[in-house]
Amino acid sequence: MEKRIVKIVLTGGPAAGKTSLVSRILKEFNSEGGWKVITIPETATELISGFGIKPFDNCVSMLEFQYFVIADQLHKEKLAVKAAEMVPEQNVLILYDRALLDDKAYITDEEFDEVLAHFDGRTASSVLAGYDAVIHLVTCAKGAAFAYNLGNQARSESIEKAIEMDDRTLRAWRAHPNLRIVDNAVDFEKKMQRGLREIYRIVGEPEPMDRKRKYLVRMPDVSALVERHGAVVFDMVQTYLVMTNPSIERRIRKQKNGGEYLYFYTEKHLRPDHTKWDTERPISEKDYSRYLLEADPALRPVRKLKYRFNGDRQRYELDVYPFSAERAILFCYSDDEICIPPEFEVIREVTDDADYKNRHLAQVQSL
């Protein structure tokens, strides 16, 4: 089987949700499903925070800064492709948190062409051809201004500046033939779902469905799910942290990825109108261990095995908990009427039942 490498750029203005979408992608496309995800972090941020190279404070001009950015970006992109060729997985997804054309938003077109030509005569057209697809996430400043600083209280750009940079960034990428735009026409959760669906469409795999229902079921033969339906199994642990702000629920998650683990930090912002807005980011094992020290002593970690498989134009996930030998939770996703596989005996639907949400299960440890 020939190795397949798919290269996707995630771009957009400030506070667009790129980091949260990366977290979703890492959860979905992992070793258990036959995928390796390689992420390339935002280069400009690394240079500013790690090396102190700043396009202000009389350090370097914005034009001079772009030479540093593009040189580093080209180096990392080369390493990413080399790594993709070396890893054992046959399907590799390279995610770029911003990429070369993003730099065009900060200087003139003529200056950008000049900088690119400095590196082996590259042109904007040749650079664009190196990416399979571009997903532009529109800044929250457009249509969801209330959430602009939820994920980053230190964000320096004003809402007006964020809108301007979003427009300039979209203009920089507009010539790519496979440009997808995800706006703020719906809430943030729907925005992330739309972004994830675009990823599935780009790689050509069945995409998650919009409609979601949740059922309490008798424990099925899980080995049969693997044998009959090719279910993929995910081992994960979710830990709730002490709430330092009454309107922000915090949690961390550890998810097995082949022989390693992925780690995530999530904040659920509870708004006055009772809607919720989640922000999420991947974290290191060291950060995960540090956050464990803030675990809420009133809530126990929720560990589960998630069995994921597809049916007839539907997707299913079965959550199996160590504290329940006779019951499990079945999630059904579909764009049409829900059809439950015959091997599942439904006790009752619990889609909107707070007693079957993870936070409650962390309290009671029972189904």
Check which CATH number belongs to the domain holding 40 and give it: 3.40.50.300
Count of domains in the chain?
A: 2
The pLDDT-based confidence of 156 (bands split at 50, 70, 90) is low
Same domain, 193 and 219: no
Angle subtended at Cα 47 by Cα 8 and Cα 69, rounded to the nearest 5 degrees: 55
Closest by alpha carbon to 252, among 222, 294, 223?
294
209 pLDDT more than 50: yes
> In terms of domains, do 197 and 225 share one?
no
Percentage of residues of the chain with pLDDT beyond 70: 95
Place 58 in a pLDDT band, splitting at 50, 70 and 90: low
> Average pLDDT, stretch 85-114?
94
pLDDT band at 56 (very low <50, low <70, confident <90, very high): low
- The domain of 307 spans 211-364
Q: Which of 151, 152, 136 is nearest to 277 (CA)?
A: 151
Half-sphere exposure of 19 (CA within 13 A, CB side): 17
Work out the average pLDDT over 206-224.
88
Q: Are residues 175 and 228 in the same domain?
A: no
**Sequence-ordered list of residues with C-beta below 8 angstroms from that of 359, at least 6 positions apart, any chain:** 240, 249, 299
Lowest mean pLDDT among 90-104, 273-287, 319-333: 273-287
- Asked if 101 contacts 68 with a C-beta cutoff of 8 angstroms, the reply is no
Question: Are 246 and 318 in a shared domain?
Answer: yes
Q: Are residues 152 and 23 in the same domain?
A: yes
pLDDT given at position 149: 63
Same domain, 232 and 199: no
Residue 39 above 50 pLDDT? yes
What is the average pLDDT across 16-24?
91
The pair of structure tokens assigned to 236 is 């994960």
pLDDT score of 46 = 84
Q: For helices 109-118 and 62-86, what crossing angle results, to 10°?
A: 50
Which whole number is the average pLDDT over 18-27? 92
Checking if the pLDDT of 341 tops 60, the result is yes
CA 90 to chain centre: 21
Q: Please check whether residues 62 and 141 belong to one and the same domain.
A: yes
- pLDDT bin (cut points 50, 70, 90) of residue 14 is confident
199 and 231: one domain? no
Residue 266 has pLDDT above 60, yes or no: yes
Quick one: 241 and 350 in the same domain? yes
Q: Among 179, 203, 227, where does a domain finish?
A: 203
Q: Is the pLDDT of residue 94 over 90?
A: yes
What is the CATH number for 246? 2.40.320.10
Question: What percent of the chain shows pLDDT beyond 90?
Answer: 64
pLDDT beyond 80 at 146: no
Among 171, 203, 235, the domain-final residue is 203
What local confidence, expressed as pLDDT, does residue 154 receive? 45
Question: What integer pLDDT is reported at residue 109 of this predicted model?
Answer: 92
Q: How confident is the model at residue 52 (pLDDT cuts 50, 70, 90)?
A: confident
Lowest average pLDDT, out of 83-97, 154-168, 257-271, goes to 154-168
298 and 154, same domain (yes or no): no
Three-state helix/strand/coil letters over 291-302: HHCCECCCCCCE
**Per-residue pLDDT at 344 exceeds 90:** yes
| Residue 308 sits in the same domain as residue 326 | yes
- For the cut 80, the answer to whether the pLDDT of residue 334 exceeds it is yes
Residue ending a domain, choose from 146, 179, 203: 203
Q: Are residues 72 and 129 in the same domain?
A: yes
